[in-house]
Amino acid sequence: MIIPSTELAELLQGYRRFREAGWKSERERWASLCEGQQPRIMVIACSDSRVDPAQIFDVHPGEIFVVRNVAALVPPFETTPGLHGVSAALEFAVQVLKVREIVVMGHGMCGGCKAALTQELSGTDPGQGGFIANWIEMLDPVREPIASELGTESRAAERAMEEAAVKVSLANLRTFPCVQEKEKRGSLTLRGAFFAISDGILHLLDEKTGKFSPA
C-alpha cells in the first residue's frame, strides 16, 4: 500500500470530497465530457497558486481551456527548434477546439513580473533560476520605460509591470498567423484581464485606452 505524504494525503482527502460531491452531482456532465471537450474560451494565466482560473470564473469541467505558466506569458510565434509548449496549446485551442475568445489574465503580486523588473535572476544557470530569467526576458522591452519612471522597488512599478505583461502577451498572440487571421475575420476575440489578489477584483483591459478597470 502506498503511504502518501502529508501534502498528498490532503489532496486525496479533497479527491474523496470531489468523488462524493462534484463527481456525483455532475455525473451526466462527466459522461458527456468523455466523448470530447468543446470549451469556447481559452484562458492563459500564471502558475501562481492564488489565481486558478476555474476558481475565479467559477466554471464547470469542460468550459475553459487553460494554459498556466510563469507570469501568464505567451511567447511570440517562433519556428526555431525547441519545445514550444504554449504555442502547441494555443494551436490546439484555436485550430482544433476553435475557441471564440482568448483571455490573458495577469495578477497582482506576481513573482515572475517582479523578477522581470528587478532582473534578480539574470546571469543564473538553467535550473538555478536561469530558465525563469530566460522566460521573463520577454518582458525586457517593457521593463525599461517602467524602471526609468517608477524604479524597480515600488509597488507602482510592480503593478505597471504586471499590466504591461498582459499587453505583451496579447501582442505576441497576434504574431501567430492563425490568431491574426481569425481575429481579422471576427471569429476570435482577444481580451486582457488582471486579477488583483488583495481584493479579489477582476479588471478588464480596454485596449483603446490601455487602461484596466473593474469587470
Nearer to Zn ion among residue 75 and residue 112 (C-beta): 112
Minimum CB distance to Zn ion, residue 104 (Å): 12
Nearer to Zn ion among residue 51 and residue 179 (C-beta): 51
Nearer to Zn ion among residue 65 and residue 194 (C-beta): 194
Nearer to Zn ion among residue 111 and residue 130 (C-beta): 111
Minimum CB distance to Zn ion, residue 179 (Å): 23
Catalog residues that contact Zn ion under the rule CB under 5 A.
Answer: 46, 48, 110, 112
Angstrom distances, CA of residue 211 to CA of 50, 194, 207, 208 = 23, 11, 7, 8
Minimum CB distance to Zn ion, residue 110 (Å): 3
User: The dihedral of CA 23, 24, 30, 34: what is its sign?
Assistant: positive
Could you write out the DSSP letters of every residue in 26-65? THHHHHHHTT----SEEEEEE--TT--HHHHTT--TTSEE
* 85 SS3 class: helix
CA dist 52 and 145 (Å) reads: 30
Minimum CB distance to Zn ion, residue 72 (Å): 7
CA dist 126 and 41 (Å) reads: 33
Minimum CB distance to Zn ion, residue 123 (Å): 22
Nearer to Zn ion among residue 64 and residue 70 (C-beta): 70
